[in-house]
Amino acid sequence: MRARQTDILIRNEAFYTAFTTRDLTAMASLWASEMHVSCIHPGGTPLFGRDAVIASWARILSSPVRSSLQCLEPKIHLLSEDLAIVVCFEQSGGEMLSATNIFALENGRWVLVHHQAGPVAGETGSAADMPAPRLLQ
Amino acid sequence: MRARQTDILIRNEAFYTAFTTRDLTAMASLWASEMHVSCIHPGGTPLFGRDAVIASWARILSSPVRSSLQCLEPKIHLLSEDLAIVVCFEQSGGEMLSATNIFALENGRWVLVHHQAGPVAGETGSAADMPAPRLLQ
How high is the pLDDT of residue B1?
64
Q: Which residue has the higher pLDDT, B57 or A64?
A: B57
* C-beta atoms surrounding B94 within 10 Å: 9
Average pLDDT over residues A85-110: 96
pLDDT at A67 over 50: yes
The C-alpha of B44 sits at a distance from chain A's nearest C-alpha, in angstroms, of 5
Within 8 A of B71 by CB-CB distance, chain A residues are: none
Give the 3-state secondary structure percentages of chain A, helix then strand then coil, rounded to 5. 30, 35, 35
What's the rounded mean pLDDT across residues A81-110?
Answer: 96
pLDDT band at A30 (very low <50, low <70, confident <90, very high): very high
Q: What pLDDT tens digit does each residue of chain B (137 aa) get?
A: 678 999 999 999 999 999 999 999 999 999 999 999 999 999 999 999 999 999 999 999 999 887 889 999 999 999 999 999 999 999 998 899 999 999 999 999 999 999 999 999 975 433 333 334 453 33
pLDDT value of residue B36:
97
pTM for the full model?
A: 0.89
Q: What per-residue confidence (pLDDT) applies to A131?
A: 37
DSSP-derived letter for residue B65 is S
pLDDT band at A126 (very low <50, low <70, confident <90, very high): very low
Kindly report the nearest CA distance between residue B17 and chain A, in angstroms.
15
A122 confidence band (pLDDT: 50, 70, 90): confident
B82 Cβ partners below 8 Å, 6+ apart? A80, B104, B105
* Amino acid A128: pLDDT: 35
Whether the predicted pLDDT of A28 surpasses 70 = yes
Which residues between 85 and 114 in chain A have a beta carbon less than 8 angstroms from any beta carbon of chain B? 85, 87-89, 92, 95, 98-100, 102, 104, 113-114
**b/e burial code for range B52-79 (CB count within 10 A of at least 16 → b):** ebbebbeebbeeeeebebebeebebbeb
Give the per-residue pLDDT at B131. Answer: 37
The pLDDT of residue B127 is: 36
Q: Is the pLDDT of residue A27 over 70?
A: yes
The answer to whether residues A97 and A115 touch, using CB atoms and an 8 Å cutoff, is: no
Q: Say what the pLDDT of residue B129 is.
A: 37
Q: Which of A2-6, A58-62, A84-88 has the lowest mean pLDDT?
A: A2-6
Of B83, B95, B120, the CB nearest to A43: B120
B-chain residues near A122 (CB < 8 A): 43
For residue A2, name the pLDDT band (cuts at 50, 70, 90): confident
Residue A93 above 70 pLDDT? yes
**Does B48 contact A89 at a Cβ distance shorter than 8 Å?**
no
pLDDT at A98 over 90: yes
Average pLDDT over all residues of chain A? 89
CB contacts < 8 A, A to B, total 186
Decide if B127 and A127 are in contact by the 8 Å CB cutoff.
Answer: yes
Check B118 against A48: CB less than 8 A apart. Answer: no
Element holding A19 (H helix, E strand): helix A2-20
